[in-house]
Amino acid sequence: MNRSKVILAAIGAAFLFSGFMVPKKGNKVKTPKGYKLVWADEFDQGTKPDEQNWIYEHGFVRNQELQWYQEDNARLADGKLIIEGRREEIKNPNYQQGSKSWKTNREYAHYSSSCIKSRGKFSFQYGIMEVRAKIDTAMGMWPAIWTLGVSRPWPSNGEVDQLEYYRHNGVAKILANAAWLGKNKRVKWDSAKIPYEEITAGDDGWTDRFHVWKMEWTEEYIRLFLDDKLLNEVDLSKTINPDGFNPFHQPQYILLNLAIGGNGGDPSSTSFPRRYEVDYVRVFQKK
C-alpha cells in the first residue's frame, strides 16, 4: 500500500481514532482481501512510543505481579518497540506499613517493566488486528498482546488475549483467550492453552524469531491465530454478561506489556535484562 492510499484510509477512519503511523518505507503491508488498513504503529519514528497512540501504566497494577511499570522501560530502536524487563530496586511511593493490599504492603519493587496501551487514543470494533513480535520465554516472563472493552469495569468490559505466554500448572504455554462476566459475578473464560513444546516442536530457533499474532473479530466470532494457525475461536453468541450486555459488541483498545512473576513463574534465577520486541501493530477493517 503506498503512502497516499494509507493516508486516505486513515482519513476515512478518522472518526475511530487519533494518531496514525504510515508503514515504514519499504515495508510491504499485506492487506487481507476485502479489508483496508485503518490504523498502524510501525514503531519506526523517534525513540519512544508515540504519545498520539499510547499511554503508560504505572506502578503495581494487576495479578500480584512483581514488576513496577514505568515509562523508562519502553523505547524504540531499529524499527521495533522494545519493552525491557529489569532487575532493579524501586521504592514504592504508595507503601503503607501493615497494609493488607499487595499494591501497598511492598516497600520496594525488585523488578521493572513497561505496559503501553491505546486507551483514549485508539479503539476499534470488529476487524483484523495483526501484531508481529518476538517474545521472551525465560522463567518469570509473561509477555502479552491483548485488548479491553472501552466501557464497564473488568471483566464485564470484555478481554481478548491474542497472546499470553506463561506457566499454567507448571507447564510453559501459549494462550489465546477471551473473558467476560459470568454468573455470580465471576469471570468467565474461553481459553486455549497450548504447551510451548507443542508449538515449537522441531524448531529450536522459534524463540529467536518474530511471529505474527492475529485476531479476526466479527459480530459473530473472534478467531485467534499464531502464524496463521488457528488457536481458538470464540462464539460471541455466548459471551453475554448476566445483564444481557455483550462486551465484544463494543470497541476495544490495545495493550502490549511484559509482566514479571505471577503466572510467569519465579524470575529469581533468571538473568536480566530481558527483551520483548514488537515490530508492528496493524488494524484492518472491511471496506
Name the residues annotated as catalytic. 159, 164
- Nearest by Cα to 283 from 64, 2, 29: 29
Residue 134: partners with Cβ closer than 8 Å, 6 or more residues away: 207, 208, 209, 210, 211, 276, 277, 279
How many Å apart are CA 101 and CA 267, to the nearest integer?
Answer: 22
Amino acid at 211: H
**Greatest C-alpha distance within the chain:** 59
DSSP string computed for 140-161? TEEEEEEEEESSSSTTTT-EEE
Instruction: Using DSSP, state whether 225 is helix, strand or coil.
Output: strand
Residue keyed to cell 513497561? 114
